[in-house]
Structure 1
Amino acid sequence: MTHVGHVRERNEDAILLDPTGELWAVADGMGGYGHGDVAASIVIDNLTLIEDADQPEARLEQQITAANAEIYDRARRAGQTMGTTIVASMILGDVAHLAWVGDSRIYLLRDGRLSQLSKDHSVVQEMIDGGLISKEDARHHPDRNIVTRALGVGPTVDVSFATLPMRDGDRILLCSDGLTACLTDADIAQIMEKQADLDEIASELVQRTLDLGAPDNVSLIIVSAAKG
């Protein structure tokens, strides 16, 4: 589900929904760099080219790296700068292979507990890691929207990875920071753990964000393991 929000004039997010159930992704085009919607579409288009399920991490890195080069080259030729974040999950069997760049996030809801699987590539995350501010302080810090990695802003990009052995009943959430800028982890957990249709849960997450002002585009994907 994706929504433009209440403030932006256009939606610069893009999502990838794979009918085979293997590959999912959310890209948050960075409007401050210009043409964020183009950058987001480029990385999603590159991810759709993944066909071989072997070596999932290598394939994810290959296509994200290719997207970075394409965005960077296009921006340079146009004399502009454009960028995007990306979170992606490739689910093969009972294992989710996760990749991300930027501050869009991947969460896991397991046994009623929400945990963040990705780690933000952002200025405030570095401050948290350095013990300079708390996670709660980061939500209101003036530099909270500054990322330290993004696709398209340099000739190369460093992609982060994680692997998750999935269990029945697990729910994975991929989302742009339009969601997490408005909702706390506790808010997200309270909605995600409801025994309801995933479409209803997604709608409630977006609606709660809209109720809180939705100053940015908000996009999310919820993937559930077999049970529930």
Structure 2
Amino acid sequence: MTAENNTKNIDKTGRLYGIGVGPGDPKLMTIKAYEAIKACDVIAIPAVSKAECYAYQIVEKIYPDIAQKCIMCTPFPMIKDKKKLDAAHEKIYSDIVAELQCGRTVGMLTIGDPSVYSTYMYIHKRITEAGFDAEMISGVPSFCAAAARLGIPLGEMRQEIHIIPASYDVEKTIEYGGTCVYMKSGKKLGELIKVLEKATALGRKMDVYGVTNCGMEDERIYRGVDELNSAEGYLTIVIVKHYGNG
């Protein structure tokens, strides 16, 4: 019997919150997120431990009492094996449902905003389909914070803005107009740099920027493809502003 079937005749007074805690700077966490975390009975973190969770580390700096909360570790494995991935999602879902069935409020932390390539959405969809209440609390997206840190606009007038996940075929994006934002590009950074270098050699006019660990103590900023060559880290955002061919 699935977890969905088990919930049919159970009091569904529990509530799930998907809480965006911003990109890294604790001061960018919203008041609404702060208040929701304080009010939740259980805090779910997308990692195997507090020490390995970026989102938890952000909150702890602004709200140290989170350490006294009941913490549920819900690691989302970054794997392509569908059976293993489904099994991991099922366990996370079942663990959260067990808390909601007892009438508890659960806050699942996510870095940035829960609506932007967040693993939280897998759980949100299933929880609402099962009849429980779930609410998303917006956080400052990392690419907005990165643009502010760089002092550049993401879009002006009629410029397009393209938000591109790291798993995408980056070579297909080189002909896009306006601004391209490459999210969590750490693993494909080498490939992206080669594509940008090739496009530049062919006369494509562009400005290239990068930020690693935006708002964190070890934040690093890069301007131009040459500087980007020294970038490393999973939380690296690359912003490319295209101006066409020379």
Q: TM-score if structure 1 supplies the norm length?
A: 0.31
Which has more radius of gyration?
Answer: 2
Greater relative contact order (CA < 8 Å, ≥ 6 in sequence): 1
Q: TM-score if structure 2 supplies the norm length?
A: 0.29
